[in-house]
Amino acid sequence: MSIFTPTNQIRLTNVAVVRMKRAGKRFEIACYKNKVVGWRSGVEKDLDEVLQTHSVFVNVSKGQVAKKEDLISAFGTDDQTEICKQILTKGEVQVSDKERHTQLEQMFRDIATIVADKCVNPETKRPYTVILIERAMKDIHYSVKTNKSTKQQALEVIKQLKEKMKIERAHMRLRFILPVNEGKKLKEKLKPLIKVIESEDYGQQLEIVCLIDPGCFREIDELIKKETKGKGSLEALNLKDVEEGDEKFE
């Protein structure tokens, strides 16, 4: 016995649905699971790796394909690939409650891990454990946002935690070796980007060991390369200005 499938139906499995409402109608596209985030972040650039089919649906789960006249009315075109790109970029990803819960838990843990890795107690210079950062995030009732990256949210968490506990971005320790002639003038330009100068040694070259905010590293690196025409060097001595051991969070 053969089963008749209407021509406007397409059956798909293992699918992530992205939905958009336009002109009073619902439009959906069928994507491979875990590929939507990659596309939106720019990691995945091949549309065929993201879309299961270049068709636009009114209901993916029922396999109902959108009508041509509805597409033109809503998007001003019937080019399904272009419409898929619009929905993929701006639409809302549909996930089950279980999937959403798992995703939120994982993102919560990832954010806590980034914060623990990037921060210290400013008094002891010791890092906090991931578990203690997770507990602090729960205490401030931090709510994970699925449409923002974990790095962006980690910066938000740090700002919020500063109001409740002693925490700051860990400093990066650097060593500059600069030609003496350019070194003195360059040091003045570098000063606003340096937190603490730990040592200076004037010999045949100017050697400076200092602490900076990690966010300034690229700017410092580019400034040294430009001003010394490649003769100066920059070395990261460590990524954190921390003492050994974990800070216990009360």
The predicted-structure confidence for 72-95, as pLDDT tens digits, reads as follows 999 999 999 999 999 999 998 887
Mean predicted confidence (pLDDT) in 217-232: 86
Mean pLDDT check: name the lowest of 181-185, 199-203, 211-215: 181-185
Say how far residue 106 (Cα) sits from the centre of its chain. Answer: 14
Mean predicted confidence (pLDDT) in 158-178: 90
pLDDT-derived band of residue 245, with 50, 70 and 90 as boundaries?
very low
Kindly report the number of other CB atoms within 10 A of residue 167's CB atom. 25
Highest mean pLDDT among 5-9, 160-164, 166-170, 212-216: 160-164
Nearest alpha carbon to residue 31 among 2, 51, 8: 51
Q: What is the DSSP letter of 176?
A: E
Backbone phi, then psi, for 27, in 5-degree steps? -125, 140
According to the model, what pLDDT value does residue 4 have? 40
Residue 2 has pLDDT above 60, yes or no: no
* Top-confidence residue, 137 or 238: 137
Residue 8 has pLDDT above 60, yes or no: no
Residue 57, beta-bridge partner list: 28, 65
According to the model, what pLDDT value does residue 224 have? 87
Distances (CA, A) of 81 to 52, 135, 184: 12, 45, 58
The predicted-structure confidence for 21-78, as pLDDT tens digits, reads as follows 999 999 999 998 778 888 887 888 999 999 999 999 999 989 999 999 999 999 999 9
According to the model, what pLDDT value does residue 247 have? 40
According to the model, what pLDDT value does residue 3 have? 43
What is the chain's mean pLDDT, rounded? 85
What is the rounded distance in angstroms from the CA atom of residue 202 to the CA atom of residue 193? 21
According to the model, what pLDDT value does residue 9 have? 57
According to the model, what pLDDT value does residue 5 have? 44
* Top-confidence residue, 196 or 184: 196
How is residue 99 written in tokens? Answer: 């999937």
According to the model, what pLDDT value does residue 243 have? 44
According to the model, what pLDDT value does residue 188 have? 86
What is the rounded distance in angstroms from the CA atom of residue 61 to the CA atom of residue 96? 13
Domains of the chain listed by start with CATH number: 15-94 (3.30.1250.10), 97-169 (1.10.10.900), 172-238 (3.30.70.240)
Report the amino acid identity of residue 120.
V
pLDDT-derived band of residue 132, with 50, 70 and 90 as boundaries?
very high
Nearest alpha carbon to residue 191 among 169, 172, 171, 216: 216
What is the rounded distance in angstroms from the CA atom of residue 222 to the CA atom of residue 6? 61
According to the model, what pLDDT value does residue 13 have? 59
Q: Please name the residue that has the structure tokens 């100017």.
A: 206
Report the amino acid identity of residue 94.
Q
Helix (H), strand (E) at residue 34: none
